[in-house]
Amino acid sequence: MGVFERYLSVWVGLSIVLGVSLGLLIPNVFQVIANLEIAHVNIVVAVFIWVMIYPMMVKIDFQRSKMSAKTLKDLY
């Protein structure tokens, strides 16, 4: 298990704390983001959900992608 997977609950906790802190520090920015809606669907949330789901839909193999990037790097 990698570092990311091993400490996933820590990353989630830190993300929550960071999000709440930023919301308290700069609430106007997050209010603008919250108002970006179409048909009562927040555009930012919709985009991030799509980014999360799309690789599963097209069945991207991240191990193979990593190997391809290394091969390209070795070529140049």
Note the helical H segments in the chain.
3-6, 8-25, 27-34, 43-57, 62-75
In whole angstroms, what is the distance from residue 65 CA to residue 11 CA? 24
Q: What is the pLDDT along the chain (76 residues), one digit of tens a residue?
A: 788 888 999 999 999 999 999 999 999 999 999 999 999 999 999 999 999 888 778 777 777 767 766 776 666 6
What pLDDT, on the 0 to 100 scale, is given for residue 3?
A: 82
Task: State if pTM tops 0.75.
Answer: no
pLDDT score at 25? 97
